Amino acid sequence: MTKPIRFNAFEMNCIGHQSPGLWRHPRDRSWSYNDLEYWTDLGRLLETGFFDSVFIADVIGYYDVYKGSLHPALEQGVQIPVNDPLQLANPIAQATEHLGIGITASTSFEHPYTFARRLSTADHHTKGRVGWNIVTSYLESGARNIGQKGLRSHDNRYDVAAEYVEVLYKLFEGSWEEGAVLRDRERGLFADPTKIHEIGHKGRYFDVPGYHLCEPSPQRTPVLFQAGASGAGKAFAAGHAECVFISTPLKSATAAYVREIRAKAAAAGRDPKKVLIYAMATIITDETDEKARRKFEEYQTYASYDGALVLMSGWTGIDFGRYAPTDTVKKVETNAIISAVEHLSSGEKTWTIEELAKWGGIGGMGPLFVGSAATVADQLQEWIEETDVDGFNLAYALAHETFADVIGHVVPELQRRGVYPSAYREGTLREKLFGDGPLLPETHPAARYRDIQAVKRAEAEARTRIPEPATA
């Protein structure tokens, strides 16, 4: 029997997200993304389907690679306008009891000290149901608009990310000891200052000498999500991520990725089974295969050719507007999402620009499953068996119709087959996902910062150590 299947909902605080043009459909709700009711209704819906979380993507910047202009993105509403994702955590949490809320935030555009306070606050307010999707960003427009001359090189962005999470681990795990918060009304003592420490971080990219502003939240460090698929991204994911997301239409590429991540996690001393890997996918389903196929064909009439290529150009850094529809995708060295370029130019499938736009017009870069509940369930189980992913990060075609269809048709079929949950575990998001405690395990690199005084002594010794002179 196939191992259990897990679902996340893949969303973004914008119109359409991965299906540009479908906001025009009369049944679509994504045009109302500015309303809290959109998000609270979505949260309640997903919880009826026992989704692990709603995973909210984000970009800082805009898609101006296609045709060398922002105009196509503005005309088609392609991830612009886009609102802040972290502010959605509280209303979704208030409308639900169990659903996790994964928030995307970039290590390239916000200082770790202030971000640590925002993330701890969200973890407090949601009673420990927040996850952080760690991204390094890929849009040059974002870098320009915060005063940088441009994006750092791809691998250097991961060097910055490694130090960024080190600062957060020190703040979350080491600044406030267990037992530091007393709340002693009799003695009038809220906290014990001897158990609250400056982190004394002095690194290549960040200097953070002081204390974390927040007392420890239910998870201390929220659940760590990550979606990097380049060499640097995979190394980072294997070292840090608890939930990993991959976007490729090919089972072979997905299986190779999963094997590599699990092997690297084991080599880093982590339990590879405690790294949950979700493949992005889109499901179009109905009572029968024929009804599902007709629904998909209806959706396609609303998909935007230019909108799809706006996304593809932004993700890859390649201006597909320079090519004819019949031209094929070639590998080009860029500073954007390297894995996206590799997937599209791998040689396993030759893509024309027109095919790329048609495929990417609904659901983005993951596989598309169209059919009845039984047909889709068969396909999902095949992917699980052949790739060893743990679940699927589901994009939508129509908000919230796509998720309602999955919950109404596919979830009961998977439950009938014994491969999908029918209840949530109690506790924080980390406890629901892994069945252990609310904190990161001792095998995670964050654990080494729990004795922050010892860490500071070791770092001070390393800074003052003078290399021995070389001998002839």
For residue 208, the domain's CATH number is: 3.20.20.30
- 10 Å Cβ neighbour count for 59? 20
Question: Do both 310 and 291 map to the same domain?
Answer: no
Query: Is 0.95 surpassed by the pTM of this model?
Result: no
**CA-CA distance, 317 to 65, in Å (whole number)?**
7
The reported pLDDT for the residue numbered 359 is: 82
Tell me: cis bond preceding 81? Omega within 30 of 0 counts: yes
The reported pLDDT for the residue numbered 261 is: 95
Residue 432, both tokens? 């629901």
Q: Is the dihedral of CA 310, 158, 106, 89 positive or negative?
A: positive
The reported pLDDT for the residue numbered 56 is: 97
Question: Do both 355 and 370 map to the same domain?
Answer: no
Contact 347, 366 (CB under 8 A): no
Question: Do both 323 and 389 map to the same domain?
Answer: no
Size of the chain in residues: 472
**Does any domain span residue 472?**
no
H helices of 206-350, in order, are: 231-240, 251-267, 289-300, 305-316, 338-344
Question: Do both 335 and 450 map to the same domain?
Answer: no
**Does any domain span residue 454?**
yes
Question: Do both 374 and 347 map to the same domain?
Answer: no
Tell me: cis bond preceding 400? Omega within 30 of 0 counts: yes
The reported pLDDT for the residue numbered 339 is: 47
Predicted confidence (pLDDT) at residue 337 exceeds the cutoff of 80: no
Phi-psi region of 68 (alpha: psi -120 to 50; beta: other; left: phi over 0): left
Question: Do both 143 and 158 map to the same domain?
Answer: yes
Question: Do both 338 and 441 map to the same domain?
Answer: no
The reported pLDDT for the residue numbered 341 is: 47
Question: Do both 291 and 398 map to the same domain?
Answer: yes
Strand, coil or helix: what is 349? Answer: coil
The reported pLDDT for the residue numbered 154 is: 60
Nearest to 338 by CA among 155, 161, 164, 156: 155
**Does any domain span residue 80?**
yes
Contact 11, 42 (CB under 8 A): yes
Predicted confidence (pLDDT) at residue 366 exceeds the cutoff of 60: yes
- C-alpha triplet 459, 220, 210: angle, nearest 5°: 40
316 CB-near residues (< 8 Å, 6+ apart):
332, 334, 336, 337, 340, 341, 344
For the chain, the domain total comes to 2
**Does any domain span residue 467?**
no
Predicted confidence (pLDDT) at residue 108 exceeds the cutoff of 90: no
The reported pLDDT for the residue numbered 99 is: 98
DSSP code, position 249: S
Question: Do both 191 and 256 map to the same domain?
Answer: yes
Nearest to 316 by CA among 331, 342, 336, 330: 336
Contact 63, 43 (CB under 8 A): no
CA torsion, points 261, 392, 339, 100, in degrees to nearest 10? -80
343 is in an annotated binding site: no
Give the pLDDT mean for 184-197: 98
Predicted confidence (pLDDT) at residue 242 exceeds the cutoff of 80: yes
Residue 368, both tokens? 């598309």
Task: Give pLDDT tens digits for 286-305.
Answer: 999 999 999 999 999 999 99
DSSP code, position 172: I
104 is in an annotated binding site: yes
Nearest to 255 by CA among 167, 385, 435: 385
- 10 Å Cβ neighbour count for 332? 12
Contact 165, 208 (CB under 8 A): no
Question: Do both 323 and 407 map to the same domain?
Answer: no
138 has which bridge partners?
none
Contact 12, 58 (CB under 8 A): yes
Question: Do both 405 and 425 map to the same domain?
Answer: yes
CA torsion, points 348, 378, 372, 277, in degrees to nearest 10? -70
Predicted confidence (pLDDT) at residue 333 exceeds the cutoff of 80: no
pLDDT tier for residue 1 given thresholds of 50, 70 and 90 = low
**Does any domain span residue 79?**
yes
The reported pLDDT for the residue numbered 228 is: 76
Domain boundary among 340, 360, 380: 360
Q: What is the DSSP string of 130-147?
A: EEEEEE----HHHHHTTT
**Does any domain span residue 438?**
yes
**CA-CA distance, 303 to 315, in Å (whole number)?**
18
Q: What is the mean pLDDT of the chain?
A: 91
pLDDT tier for residue 146 given thresholds of 50, 70 and 90 = confident
**Does any domain span residue 380?**
yes
Task: Give pLDDT tens digits for 400-438.
Answer: 999 999 999 999 999 999 999 999 999 999 999 999 999
Strands (E), 107-200: 130-135, 181-184, 189-191
Question: Do both 138 and 239 map to the same domain?
Answer: yes
Predicted confidence (pLDDT) at residue 155 exceeds the cutoff of 70: no
Q: Which domain holds residue 174?
A: 6-295+366-461
Percent of the chain residues topping a pLDDT of 70: 92
205 is in an annotated binding site: no
pLDDT tier for residue 248 given thresholds of 50, 70 and 90 = confident
Nearest to 230 by CA among 330, 157, 131: 157
Task: Give pLDDT tens digits for 59-71.
Answer: 888 889 999 999 9
Give the pLDDT mean for 35-54: 98
Contact 279, 246 (CB under 8 A): yes
Written as one letter, the residue type at 180 is: A
**Does any domain span residue 300?**
no
C-alpha distances out from residue 221 to 113, 201, 249, 430, Å: 14, 18, 32, 10
C-alpha distances out from residue 436 to 126, 270, 281, 426, Å: 19, 15, 28, 11
Nearest to 115 by CA among 140, 94, 85, 91: 85
Predicted confidence (pLDDT) at residue 458 exceeds the cutoff of 90: yes
Domain boundary among 318, 343, 360: 360
H helices of 16-70, in order, are: 36-48
**CA-CA distance, 189 to 183, in Å (whole number)?**
6
The reported pLDDT for the residue numbered 310 is: 94
230 is in an annotated binding site: yes
The reported pLDDT for the residue numbered 151 is: 64
